[in-house]
Amino acid sequence: MRLVRLETFHNEFLCFVKATAEDGAIGWGQTSTYNADITAQVFHRQIAPWALGQDCTDIAALVQRVERAEHKYPGSYRNRAMAGLDTALWDMAGRRAGLPVAALIGGSAGPVRAYASSMSRDLSPEAEAERLKRICGEQGFTAAKFRIGAEMGEDRDQWPGRTEAIIPAVTRALPGIETLVDANSGFSVGRAIAVGRVLEDHGVGHYEEPVPWWDLEATRAVADALEIDVTGGEQDVDLGVFARMIATRTVDVVQPDVMYLGGLAKTLQVARMAEAAGLPVTPHAANLGLVTMATMHLLRAIPNAGKYLEFSIEGDEYYPWQKGIFRGDPFRVEAGNLTVSEAPGWGVEVNPDWLERAVYRVSAEGDAPQTDYARLYHATMAQGLQVLGGCSPPKPPRQRGARPPLETPWIFEDR
């Protein structure tokens, strides 16, 4: 079934994607959040031309086709844009089958345990402790996360002494509640280990991004020194990095972000790598856009799902762009759980009023190339992809020397 039309609706914060197949079937997806106006341009220039006219029922193969074609752009924006294609096609597949996406990937509708995730470092320890106590009491959360250090802080705290003060303040205020922290790459190895021991003394069970996220060796040094679960992966957009992270057991819990990574198909590959290594997956899902809903479906399906879903507790002051983007209340919390419904696809409907206010753009099958880049490059690359049969995998790399072979079925295998 060919993909014939891709439409985007965006503002600076959000970009929704509508995909249409030749038989009229549709699906709705979303690119990753923030600078979404830039992501929409990347989508139409570097994603849509490779996807239109292709079979849209094999989502993993189509994602791989685009990645091969845009191999010189392996980073964040391509993946953020790719997420819009991927999530729209999963929604289309669910609508075709009359099933939630969770059921398409081996799971089912049902409840998902969530933790109350604070994004704030502006509150005093006492105010944050009181806020989390109130929210957990009102909504029934059995786990909560708070922030320590300063984001990318190089051992600076948000203000002097805040980390040492907030750990006991929050943990004392939440008896019987599992506690998690996020350092957002704020510490050096030595400082991270020292803070980790304080966390252990206060019963905190999850220590996220203690050191700069790209430094796998530093992260592993912290994990090796502590009993607490050290977690990470939200920023990573390269499957090779995830393979090394998992093979070396850099973290105790793997945390891909469905939207940062490029969609559900690639996130499933990470989840399967982690499953083979005996590691749980607790994805990053820090806002109430489609990332949280997609993560709910993922956690209902994978056998190595972590203990809970990240669920942001921040409202309009922190996330003003979240208001009114979906119809109804898809993120209703009951007794600390959210629910994947039986509705087909993602089970959400984008608010038509939001779409009316958004910037609209469309790419369709058969459109003439719109840029010099496309005219110079696309025809030649498209011929090469046809010769390769779309996305047939290359021969595996030859192993040299005495190093043990590294199993890498994750590169081109999604089934």
* Segment 125-167, tens digit of pLDDT: 999 999 999 999 999 999 999 999 999 999 999 999 999 999 9
The CATH number for 126's domain is: 3.20.20.120
pLDDT attached to residue 386 = 63
User: What average pLDDT score do residues 252-268 get?
Assistant: 98
92 falls within a domain: yes
Residues 166, 309: one domain?
Answer: yes
414 falls within a domain: no
**In the chain, how many domains are there?**
2
pTM of the model: 0.91
Residues 234, 366: one domain?
Answer: no
135 falls within a domain: yes
Given 316, 340, 364, which residue is the final one in a domain? 340
Distance separating alpha carbons of residues 183 and 395, to the nearest angstrom: 41
Distance separating alpha carbons of residues 307 and 92, to the nearest angstrom: 29
Residues 314, 171: one domain?
Answer: yes
Indicate the helix (H) or strand (E) that contains 339. strand 337-340
Residue 371's pLDDT band, with cuts at 50, 70 and 90, is confident
For 70, the domain range is 3-98+351-387
244 falls within a domain: yes
Distance separating alpha carbons of residues 294 and 347, to the nearest angstrom: 10
335 falls within a domain: yes
Residues 241, 378: one domain?
Answer: no
Question: Which pLDDT tens digit goes with each residue over 38-97?
Answer: 999 999 999 999 999 999 999 999 999 999 999 999 999 999 999 999 999 999 999 999
User: What average pLDDT score do residues 271-291 get?
Assistant: 98
301 falls within a domain: yes
- Cα–Cα distances (Å) from 412 to 157, 185, 287, 294, 388, in that order, read 42, 31, 30, 22, 14
Q: Which residue has the higher pLDDT, 385 or 30?
A: 30
Residues 113, 249: one domain?
Answer: yes
Residues 53, 182: one domain?
Answer: no
Given 309, 340, 371, which residue is the final one in a domain? 340
Residues 195, 162: one domain?
Answer: yes
Residue 346's pLDDT band, with cuts at 50, 70 and 90, is very high
pLDDT attached to residue 368 = 79
pLDDT attached to residue 383 = 66
Indicate the helix (H) or strand (E) that contains 267. helix 264-276
Residues 132, 243: one domain?
Answer: yes
Is the pLDDT at 415 greater than 50? The verdict is: no
Is the pLDDT at 110 greater than 90? The verdict is: yes
264 falls within a domain: yes
User: What average pLDDT score do residues 4-26 get?
Assistant: 98
pLDDT attached to residue 384 = 65
Residues 334, 360: one domain?
Answer: no
User: What average pLDDT score do residues 259-271 get?
Assistant: 98
The residues, any chain, with a CB within 8 Å of residue 350's CB and separated by 6 or more, are: 9, 16, 28, 325, 326, 327
pLDDT attached to residue 351 = 98
Report the SS3 class of residue 28: strand
Mean per-residue pLDDT of the chain: 92
Distance separating alpha carbons of residues 275 and 290, to the nearest angstrom: 24
Q: Where are the beta strands (DSSP E) in 101-255?
A: 110-117, 143-147, 178-182, 206-208, 229-232, 253-254
